[in-house]
Amino acid sequence: MDAKMKGMIMAGMMAISLVLGILGVLGNAWLDADPDAEDDMEGFSMSSGLNNVVITYDLTKLMGGMME
């Protein structure tokens, strides 16, 4: 392995670590659901990331109907 090949391998590893670092910092910001797609589901929102899913329900209307 000569010096040029070693430099190319190091540059490739640095580029991969940079890309993985950016993905780690951004988290799930680039995977948010489209707000227009949620028109038929009021009070429900969902977002997902590379390793997690967050589901949020708004139960105020449901609980208001149950209290009457």
Residue 5, domain extent: 1-27
- State whether 22 and 43 are in the same domain: no
The pLDDT of residue 37 is above 60: no
Instruction: Report the number of distinct structural domains present in the chain.
Output: 2
pLDDT at 4: 93
Co-location of 36 and 65 in the same domain: yes
Cα separation, 31 vs 39, in Å, equals 18
Q: What pLDDT, on a 0 to 100 scale, did the predictor assign at position 6?
A: 94
1-7 mean pLDDT: 91
Residues 65 and 38 reside in one and the same domain: yes
Q: What is the token pair recorded at 49?
A: 């990331």
18 Cβ contact list (under 8 Å, min separation 6): none
Looking at per-residue pLDDT, the higher value among 46 and 15 belongs to: 15
Predicted local distance difference test score (pLDDT) of residue 48: 60
| Claim to verify: residue 46 and residue 16 sit in the same structural domain | no
